[in-house]
Structure 1
Amino acid sequence: MVSKDTTENATETVAEIEGPRVGVRHLQSFLLFLGFSVGFMQRTNLSVAIVAMMDRNSTNPDFPEYNWSEQSKSLLLSSFFWGYVIMQIPSGQLAQRFGGKVMLLFSIGVSGFFAIFTPLSAQMGDWQFICALRFLQGFCQAAVYPSVQIILARWAPPAERGVLATICYSGSQFGTIIILSISGTLATSMFGWPSIFYVSGGCSIIWALVWLLWGADSPRQSKLISSEERNYIESTLGAISKSENSAISAKLPTPWLSIITSVPFWALFTSQCAYSWGYWTLITQIPSYIKNVFDKDIKSNALLSALPYAANLVLGLCFCALAQVLLSAKLLRTNASRKIFNTIGIWIPMAATIALGFVDANSADLAVILLTVAVGANSATFLGGFVNHIDLSLNFPGTLMSITNLGATLMSIITPLVVGVIVTDTTNPNQWRLIFYIMALWYFIGNLLFITLGSTKLQPWNEPAKRDTDHERIKSSGSRYPGA
């Protein structure tokens, strides 16, 4: 078992090991970026397509329109997350057992097929069939985040984790921007609203084929990597963990008790929940606030609707470049880097959220700017809490991500319910101000715990305890005594 002191020294030592500046590890990150893009195109496609599907004034008679109630519409839009939530913990275990490549291939590829069949399911079984299909898509995509964490743990040298992770996770914003930008054109084309599902599903299947050819669980399993880059990655990871080989870590028993009693993990968990609470409130509720309080409908404006996502993508890449400069200049240690970027990604939105509550009713543009800044600054957490799972454990990052993602997903479900209880009059700024205070409190507590109790040290439970190893050896030999 690796001690904490040894781990801390090793983490700083590996920063001195140099490898090729650009290599297959960056190709893997770019492929994961595209994977997130097509995955989020599938998540978002129904929310934009449903407008055309329910448009009674459509001039295109070739495609059916549906007269769904608001309750049915809500069930349709939430059905994806039913399957997504229940599979979070199992998906982490499956990704650890079978590897990130296979699970990611399954998640995006099968979900893409379901997306293509969405128009047909609407014709065959109305909204009930679509709900079932969306449930299955969420069921499949639950493995995306845990799988990516496992792949990054094998491919990302410790000093480059934040940068490579940011490249990957930025794909979620890129995919959302793309589907928001093209959905209107697709819906009014000769192929109608079904083309929204065909395009998003088709892109996912194409990505799955490319991933099958070029994706790899680890450098040792890649046919594209040079021996120089493979040795660089493996030497930096090997300096920290003795079990960096994915075949070995797949057989390790998950240390559940150690994980759920780990203070750094719970600091990370709280931070991720706070991020999710704030992010989903900003994305789903603030547009309603701006519309009802300031009489400015940003959802009906494609440019304004995509602006927060675009800011998140652009600022995420800017933070990525900044982190790379700081890394090259060796101005920050890993622990300081994680906590600084997490603070930027959570406390700047906190300040913007508080300011939103005091914006004058005649300053709609300022409210939109604050929303954009808040959502954009959130991307700094990609270099903070999002990559901290790998810092804590190279062998169980998928399991850690599945737990934190479960909490984060529950936050995204609870958030609109809380808004519905508090905001009974959507034109009342005082009621909205209470929502902002709750967000700010979540943001403050979540990041405060992360910067005070969080850690970037590889945790002792990452490696199997020596007594557990001896126990297995004794059990397999049939002897009661070590060495007998």
Structure 2
Amino acid sequence: MVKETFEIAEAEKKNGFVIEEKPVEKAPTFGKRHSQVLILFALVFLAYGIRVTLSVAIVAMTTPSASSNPNIPTYPDWNDKSIVLSAFFWGYIIPQIFAGWIAGQYGPKWFLVGSMTVCGGMCIVLPAMAALLGSLGVMVSRAIQGLCQGFIFPSVHCALSRWVPPEERSRLATLVYAAGPLGTVAGMLLTGVISASNLGWPTVFYLYGAGSIAWAAFSALFSANSPSSHPSISEAERYFIENSLGHTEDKPKPKTPWTAIWTSVPLWAILITHCGQNWGFWTLMTEIPTYMSKVMNFDIKANSALSALPYLVLWILSFFMSFASDALINRNILTLGHARKLFNSIGLVIPALALFFLGITPGDEPIRAVALLVVAVGFNSGVYCGFNVNHVDISPTHAGTLMGITNGISNIFGIVAPLMVQFIVTNETDATQWKIIFFLTAIIYVATSLVFNFFGSGEVQKWNDKPED
């Protein structure tokens, strides 16, 4: 990692202060900003694990032979699995805009602590709710989990806008958001192994519930809303971060320019692209295990491993993408905006091509299908250096609010996509019906990528620090 140097004396001169010469102090190569990023990494890792466990667990929950323990409860008569899978998003979309705004006003720390505590509790009670209320009980539990997790990404974006200097933004933001694919890999593998074992699928939810509550306790002790509120950050690192970002917590917070935000073309480009990304991402995330089971005929252990493989590749590729993006920007090979568009195109167009070829792959060629899924999901990592971090580029001050807007609206497609699969794929063993899903997703990926390329921006918008008139 590039070692940053910051001269306090020089920074204070730039701010109009007359001071005596001071020795140069270096912001540490590994500092408090990195420890905060690692706390956020653990958060996203757990959050995505909680999201995807049900995608694999529902196969075990509805298949009596899935576990080696005959006493594990199963519900083979459930015929609303896609609706159950979409229930998470019923709650998820509700708090997004409010969450981004309130995190910007009061800091993200305690909203993240509270939301993960409740989310963990609902994980722990999910098996009991399934036993008492059937699929409806699981839907209620998942909807509440979604409501809690609706605070996460707007708050994370808010935290990144306060802690991460621009020259480290692609790397550190990608590290945080790439925890999602890694959490997906761990969640799918863990769920598959445990569901097939004597412990059975309920143990998965107990483990993730306990992990979420443990994270909340750790974060309550060691996280901070901003550099200025961290009790042990060095003065050099604090000034390095705040000077790089061009703001401090001592400045009064500008009012949110709602009219300017809602009429911002670059924001609409992010929003439309976010909608396309979420359609494809959640279609594949929630339905790959079913596709592997019903079309490719893999058992629960092989299913979970092969379903997780694309997300492991996504996680690995995300680091190559992020370092390449920062290198192109920091060496002035590409402007920030052009770099965002390049990597966003890689993250959407290459997966679209893979999905097209997956759609014409026969059901008796599982190796080819898995390879194409790996390409479709793996190269999607490009979006972490594309639209996904672009909110912070165009408005560091209101990044949490912008993420709340785009994440809230775009995750409506997290509800619609599994329902569309339920509507189109009436026979889960029919590869021809799955072809429609893959072709539709490919078209959406390409169309939304073009929107971002034409209308996206890497420039800080004029309304970033300008209050509403």
Aligned to 1:406: 408
* Amino acid across the alignment from 2:400: G
8 Å Cα contact 1:84-1:139 kept in structure 2: yes
Instruction: Give deviations 1:153-181, integer Å, cap 9, x for gaps.
Output: 00111121111110001111122221222
* Amino acid across the alignment from 1:116: I
Instruction: Give deviations 1:262-314, integer Å, cap 9, x for gaps.
Output: 11111111111111122223334456556666x45386513212111111111
Per the alignment, in what secondary structure is the counterpart of residue 460 of structure 2? coil
8 Å Cα contact 2:52-2:286 kept in structure 1: no
Per the alignment, in what secondary structure is the counterpart of residue 233 of structure 2? coil
Aligned to 1:143: 151
Aligned to 2:6: none
1: CA distance, partners of 2:232 / 2:264: 38
* Amino acid across the alignment from 1:253: K
8 Å Cα contact 1:154-1:246 kept in structure 2: no
Aligned to 2:12: none
Aligned to 1:297: 298
1: CA distance, partners of 2:334 / 2:27: 20
Q: Comparing 81-90 with 257-266, which one deviates more in the overlay? A: 81-90
1:439 aligns with 2:447: no
8 Å Cα contact 2:68-2:197 kept in structure 1: no
2: CA distance, partners of 1:160 / 1:338: 14
Map 1:88-167; keep pairs closer than 5 Å. 88-167=96-175
Per the alignment, in what secondary structure is the counterpart of residue 118 of structure 1? helix
1:254 to 256, 259, 262: 256
* Amino acid across the alignment from 1:405: N
Pair 174,224 (structure 1): closer, same or farther in 2 beyond 3 Å = farther
Per the alignment, in what secondary structure is the counterpart of residue 117 of structure 1? helix
* Amino acid across the alignment from 1:282: L
Query: Aligned-pair distance for 1:330?
Result: 4.2
1: CA distance, partners of 2:87 / 2:202: 19
Gaps of 5+ in 1: 1-17, 469-484
1:226 aligns with 2:234: yes
1:28 aligns with 2:36: yes
Aligned to 2:378: 376
What is the TM-score when the length of structure 1 is the normalising length?
0.83
Q: Comparing 137-146 with 403-412, which one deviates more in the overlay? A: 403-412
Instruction: Give deviations 1:374-421, integer Å, cap 9, x for gaps.
Output: 101111111111110111112211121112112321122222333444
Aligned to 1:56: 64
What is the TM-score when the length of structure 2 is the normalising length?
0.85
8 Å Cα contact 2:352-2:441 kept in structure 1: yes
Map 1:425-464; keep pairs closer than 5 Å. 432-464=434-466
1: CA distance, partners of 2:285 / 2:30: 35
* Amino acid across the alignment from 2:339: S
Aligned to 1:353: 355
1:340 to 339, 342, 351: 342
Instruction: Give deviations 1:336-369, integer Å, cap 9, x for gaps.
Output: 2211111111111122122223445654312211
1: CA distance, partners of 2:310 / 2:418: 19
Per the alignment, in what secondary structure is the counterpart of residue 70 of structure 1? coil
2: CA distance, partners of 1:213 / 1:234: 23
8 Å Cα contact 2:68-2:196 kept in structure 1: no
Per the alignment, in what secondary structure is the counterpart of residue 91 of structure 2? helix
1:245 to 240, 244, 249: 249
* Amino acid across the alignment from 1:92: G
Give me the CA root mean square deviation: 2.9
8 Å Cα contact 1:162-1:384 kept in structure 2: no
8 Å Cα contact 2:56-2:289 kept in structure 1: no
1:310 aligns with 2:318: no
* Amino acid across the alignment from 1:60: N
* Amino acid across the alignment from 1:107: S
Q: Comparing 329-338 with 95-104, which one deviates more in the overlay? A: 329-338
Query: Aligned-pair distance for 1:324?
Result: 4.2
Pair 130,275 (structure 1): closer, same or farther in 2 beyond 3 Å = closer
2:47 to 39, 50, 65: 39
Pair 46,400 (structure 1): closer, same or farther in 2 beyond 3 Å = same
- Percentage of identical aligned residues: 39
Query: Aligned-pair distance for 1:436?
Result: 3.6
2: CA distance, partners of 1:139 / 1:274: 22
Pair 372,113 (structure 1): closer, same or farther in 2 beyond 3 Å = same
8 Å Cα contact 2:68-2:198 kept in structure 1: no
2: CA distance, partners of 1:314 / 1:67: 36
Pair 121,237 (structure 1): closer, same or farther in 2 beyond 3 Å = same
8 Å Cα contact 1:55-1:65 kept in structure 2: no
Aligned to 1:475: none
Query: Aligned-pair distance for 1:432?
Result: 4.5
Gaps of 5+ in 2: 1-25
8 Å Cα contact 2:167-2:326 kept in structure 1: no
